[in-house]
Amino acid sequence: MYTDLEGKVVIVTGAGGGIGRETVKRFADNGSLVIATDVNEETGHETVEYAGKELVTFVAADVSNADSMGRLVERTLELHGRLDIAHNNAGVELNGPHLADVTPEQFDRIMAVNLSGVFLSMRAEIPAMLNGSGGSIINTSSGLGVKGFAGQSSYVASKHGVLGLTKTAALEYAAQDVRVNAVMPGVVRTPMVEAIEAEVPGFIDMVTAKHPMGRLATPGDIANAVLWLASEQSAFVSGAAIAVDGALLAG
C-alpha cells in the first residue's frame, strides 16, 4: 500500500479496460479519488463498478479533442478542487499493414489518440498541477517506443513520440514540482491483444516466446509500475521511461 496516495486526485485516461481499468482499481485501493475517463461510456461505467463507486467517478472524454480534455480537467477541479496525478493511457492500434499500405486516415487516427492524445492530456493537466502543489504524470508508451516492429509503423511512430513528449515535459516542469515519466509495457494480455489474436491466430504464442520471462504482462504488472511512479517512493524520478516487459528489451 502507498499511504501517500490516499486522498490524491487522479485522472486515468483509457480507463474502459485493460491497463487503464486495473490502474483505476489500484489507485482506488490505495484511497485515491479517481476520475476514470474513456470515450466509451459503457466500458467506463463498468470500470467504476469494478474499481469501487465510493472513490471512482466516470467522466466521458475524448483524448483526441482539446476541448473535451479541457472540460475533463475542469470537471475534476469542480469535483475535487485539484489534480495531483494523471495516467495518460488511452491508445489504439493498427495491426498488419506495412507502411506503404497504411492510409493517411489510418495513420492520422493512430496519431490523434496515441500521440496527440497524450499531448492534449498533458496540455490540460499541467496548468491544474501548477496551480496546486505540483504533481506526477505517467504516460503509457510501449516497448515499441524504442524499437521497430513490422506491421506496426503507425503505432511505433506514435509510441516513440510519447517518449519525446515525456522527456521534454519533464525538463520544462521539473523546477515546478511536476514529474513526468513513462511506462513501456511489453505485450500485455488485454482486449487489444485478444483482438489481434482473433485476426492473426498464433500471435499470442509468438509474442510470448519473445519475452524472456515466458509470459505476457498482466494489466496489474503495468499498474504496479504506474503507482510507484505516482507515489513519493519515486520522488526523484522524472523524465524516465520504465520498461515493464519481462526483459524483452534487455536482449
**Catalytic position from the list 2, 50, 155, 173:** 155
Three cell numbers written together for 61: 472524454
Q: Is 155 a catalytic residue?
A: yes
Distance CA 211, CA 209 (A): 6
Distance in angstroms (rounded) separating the CA atoms of residues 181 and 229: 7
Rounded CA-CA distance 108/6 in Å is 39
From the CB of residue 201, how many other CB atoms can be counted at a distance below 10 Å?
Answer: 8
Give CA–CA dist 58/50, Å, rounded: 12
248 DSSP 8-state letter: G
Measuring CA to CA, how many Å separate 63 from each of 38, 66, 113, 186, 196?
A: 8, 7, 6, 23, 23
What's the CA dihedral at 23, 198, 113, 164 to 10 degrees? 80
Q: Which residues pair with 217 in a beta bridge?
A: 188
Residues with active-site annotation: 155
